A = this chain, B = another copy of it.
Amino acid sequence: MNPTSPAIILDHPQMGENIGAAARAMLNFGFHDLRLVAPRDGWPNQSAIDMSSGALDMMPPVQVFETLPAAIKDLHHVYATTARRRDMVKPVFTPRGAAADAQARLQSGQKTGLVFGRERTGLENDDLALCQAIITVPTNPEFSSINLAQSVLLVAYEWQMTQDNTPAYDLPAGSSFPAENAQLMELFERLENELETHNFFRSAGLKPTMVRNIRTLLTRAQMTDQEVRTFHGIISALTGAKKP
């Protein structure tokens, strides 16, 4: 099977909980290839299974390796995540930059991987020297240490976002539909007539401005046709009248 997303490689992970949370985060964003290098507590690990909320059961079996070179040998381009700046002349990506780069490589048939170091100390420089690039998450400099599974989540999320078409803003009308402007005009005119009858407009001079302000508010609400009917009902209830 050709990969559809990068492999995730956890190097010397210590806490089973983090492995499980990382697996859950991976599957949240469509990643399936989890590899472990020398997990401290061995494998399988019940804490990991519990924390994965079923993700580990839905993914192919986790592969376990003794060394990082063994875990990455079939991959063409490997990104190592690190929080600390190293004195190493190596490309440094943000998670977003790395996701775009990895997506381009996948399109050309390359297999990529994302490597994460152990919780306390991260990756060693000898490990970094083997990786083609570095990913550093731009964090608060006063509190920069991200949980292992949270790091996995961010890079997996950015990968998913490279291929996601969800609009940044949407106003789904659900089972109803936006009202047509003719319905809105009818509602506006009825409301304004009722307000006129009830002496809402203090003076004829102020009325045009007040009408514009009310129409602006009601237009901004982007009512559905059901909501226009509800609004007619509110007017009827408050005036004791039926819709004419």
Contact = CB atoms under 8 A, between A and B. Distances in A.
A166 interface: yes
A100 to B, nearest CB: 7
A93 B169 contact: yes
Copy count, this protein chain? 2
Given A89-B224, A94-B166, A138 B150 contact: no
Interface stretch (A35-43, A152-160, A190-198, A208-216): A152-160
Interface residues of A, number: 58
Contacts of A92: 169-172
A240 interface: no
Contact of A53 (B137, B145, B164, B173): B145
A96 B161 contact: yes
A87 interface: yes
A102 interface: no
Contacts of A169: 91-93, 97, 101
Contacts of A153: 150, 153-154
Residue among A143, A171, A222 with the highest chain B CB neighbour number at 10 A? A143
A68 interface: no
Interface of A: 21, 24-25, 27-30, 53-55, 58, 85-94, 96-97, 100-101, 136-140, 142-147, 149-150, 153-154, 157, 160-161, 164, 166-176, 222, 224, 227
